[in-house]
Amino acid sequence: MTSASAGGVPDIASLVSEAKRRVSSCSTLAELASSEAALLGKRSPLSEASRMLGSLGQDERRRVGRLVQEARRDIESALAERMEVLHAAERAAKLVEDHLDLSEAVLQVASPGPGHGPLARGRLHLVQRTRDELEDVFVGMGFVVAEGPEVETDWFNFEALNIPPAHPARGMWDTFYLDLGERESVLLRTHTSPVQIRLMREQEPPVYAVMPGRCYRRDTPDARHLPTFHQIEGLVVDRSISFADLAGTIEAFTAAYFGEDVHSRLRPAYFPFTEPSAEFEVTCTICKGGGCRTCSHTGWVELGGCGMVDPAVFEFVGIDPESWSGFAFGFGIDRCALMRHEIPDLRILLDNDARFLSQV
């Protein structure tokens, strides 16, 4: 117990305990601020006591002075402590008040209706995205991307590809003819192959190019065929290009696009513009080669056609087949998308239903 001092100097110890009581009873920061002024301000008992020090004797002045200083420090630290507590409480209360369910916002962005649009991003079309990805794979392998017209002449679409008029092989492509020029001389391209012809006519080899684009065949639409569809073709012309280069390129592309566990195999087929010709199959992506209904239990799914460029085609475009050789391949972009996303019926692509567009 500190001794009480004489001569009007207040009881410092009780001042301190009184002050601490007052501080701890403050429940808001504002209250605390006014308490601080009252306890430590110019008119506070403690300041009063300081002012009275001059009237004391030297020893007494030193002793009381120390007591006053200690008291001030004690009160200050009590204030600081209380301040911290009140700050925390006030922040906690504000946080509670600020509560927001973020899932509301997420859901509103995804819902139709006024005010929610600008934040919702649209979507690139499944087929276009597939095309972009395929382009990227081939660009990574050193190919450029070439494009050409969708309205073609019979010569570019058939003849220069070694398919003369009335050739039975024309039965492989049901063709839409356009009412331009002489009868059946202008058509909607049935494949992207005419771009190969245009490219080889305009560019000296070597050629490493892929040619994506829209094609048309006069097929009644069903789950796996649309009269309008998208194809991508590749063409390589260089010195001593071989069938092994073709097989290796197809393998590299399938692994890059479908994944390392997807492989490819070739088997003989017939196309008038390639010789030897092949169809290529890739590991069924559904059963990973184990066999399922989609792949008729073979583990393989047919993807496209390919082969070594027929010397006759080279002659049509003025490339010497003795000095140059090359390969070409082609397959459906829509078919790739269908495989990867397991779309049961291609016809859904024609509707442009927002429920589909926003989903895949």
Partner 1 sequence: MRVPVSWLRDFAPFGDEVEVLVANLDDLGLVVEGVEHVGAGLDAVVVARVLEIAAIAGADRIRRVVVDDGAGPVEVVCGAWNFQVGDLVPLAPVGAVLPGGFEISRRRMKGVDSFGMLCSAKELGLSEDHAGILVVGDNGPVGSDEPRPGMALTEALGIEADVVLDVAVEANRPDAWCMAGIARDLAARLKLPFALPEPPGETGDAGGAGGTRAARAEELTSVELVDPDLCPRFTARVVTELQVAPAPGWVARRLMLAGMRPVNSVVDASNYVMLELGQPTHPYDLDRLAGAGLRVRAARRGEEVVTLDAVRRVLGMRSVGPGDDLRDCVICDAEDMPVGIAGVMGGKSSEITGSTTRVLLEAAYFAPMAIARTSKRLALRTEASARFERGVDPEGIDRAALRFIELLGAVDGTAPVQAAGAIDSRGELPSPIRVILRVGRVGSLLGCPLSKAEIRSCLEPIGFHCEDAGEDALGVEVPSFRPDTSREVDVVEEVARHVGYSNLGKRRPSSPQVGRLSPYQRERRVTRDVMAGMGAYEVWTSSLLAPRDHEHAGIGGASIEVGNPLSPEESILRRSLLPGMMKALGYNVERRQGDLRLFEVGRVFPFPERARVQRAIARGSESVVDEREMLGMVLAMPDDDARSAAAAWGALAGTLGITGVSLLASDTAGRPAGLHPSRSAFIIRQDGTKRASVVAGDLAGSSGVVGDVAGSSGVVGVVGEVDPDVLEAFGISGGSRRVGWLEVDLERLLACERRSPLAKPVSRFPSSDVDLAFDVPDAVSAAEVHSVISRAAGPLLEACWLFDVYRDAARHRGSRSLAYRLRFSAADRTLTDSEVGEIRQRCVDAAERELGLRLRG
Q: Give contact residues for Zn ion (rule: CB under 5 A).
A: 284, 286-287, 292, 294-295
β-strand 144-145 against 207-216: which pairing, if any?
parallel
Choose, by CB under 8 A, the member of 42, 94, 293, 355 that binds partner 1: 355
- Residue 126: count other Cβ atoms within 10 Å of its Cβ: 21
Q: What is the DSSP string of 185-204?
A: SEEE-SSSHHHHHHHHHHSP
Interacting partner of 202 out of Zn ion, partner 1, none (Cβ under 5 to 8 A depending on kind):
partner 1
Contacts to partner 1 from residues 132-151, by CB under 8 A: 132, 135, 138-145, 148-151
Contact map string, positions 257 to 276, toward partner 1, x by CB under 8 A:
--------xxxxxx-x--xx
Interacting partner of 292 out of Zn ion, partner 1, none (Cβ under 5 to 8 A depending on kind):
Zn ion
Choose, by CB under 8 A, the member of 67, 325, 335, 339 that binds partner 1: 325
Residue pair 334/326 in contact (Cβ under 8 Å)? The answer is no
The answer to the question of residue 168 lying near partner 1 (CB under 8 A) is yes
The answer to the question of residue 153 lying near partner 1 (CB under 8 A) is yes
Instruction: Tell me phi and psi for residue 107, to 5 degrees.
Output: -65, -35
- Residue 201: count other Cβ atoms within 10 Å of its Cβ: 13
Q: At a CB cut-off of 8 Å and minimum separation 6, what does 210 contact?
A: 134, 135, 138, 143, 144, 145, 146, 232, 233, 234, 235
Q: Which residue type is seen at 166?
A: A
User: Which one, 7 or 165, has the nearer CB to partner 1?
Assistant: 165
Tokens of 31: 């209250």
Distance in Å, CB of 261 to partner 1, minimum: 17
Choose, by CB under 8 A, the member of 40, 169, 286, 287 that binds partner 1: 169
Choose, by CB under 8 A, the member of 244, 318, 342, 344 that binds partner 1: 244
Quickly tell me which residue has 């393998």 as its tokens: 251
Interacting partner of 295 out of Zn ion, partner 1, none (Cβ under 5 to 8 A depending on kind):
Zn ion
Distance in Å, CB of 337 to Zn ion, minimum: 18
Q: What is the DSSP string of 23-57?
A: HHH--SHHHHHHHHHHHHSTTSHHHHHHHHGGGS-
User: Which one, 23 or 199, has the nearer CB to partner 1?
Assistant: 199
Distance in Å, CB of 165 to partner 1, minimum: 4
Distance in Å, CB of 122 to partner 1, minimum: 4
User: Which one, 15 or 301, has the nearer CB to partner 1?
Assistant: 301
Contacts to partner 1 from residues 92-131, by CB under 8 A: 112-114, 117-118, 120-125, 127-128
Rounded CA gap, 332 and 327, in Å?
18
Quickly tell me which residue has 């100097």 as its tokens: 9
Q: At a CB cut-off of 8 Å and minimum separation 6, what does 356 contact?
A: 348
Rounded CA gap, 179 and 287, in Å?
47
The answer to the question of residue 238 lying near partner 1 (CB under 8 A) is yes
Interacting partner of 284 out of partner 1, Zn ion, none (Cβ under 5 to 8 A depending on kind):
Zn ion
Rounded CA gap, 21 and 35, in Å?
11
Size, binding site for partner 1 by CB under 8 A:
100
Quickly tell me which residue has 């397959």 as its tokens: 331
Contact map string, positions 194 to 223, toward partner 1, x by CB under 8 A:
----x--xx---x-x-----x-x-x-x---
User: Which one, 35 or 130, has the nearer CB to partner 1?
Assistant: 130
Distance in Å, CB of 341 to partner 1, minimum: 15
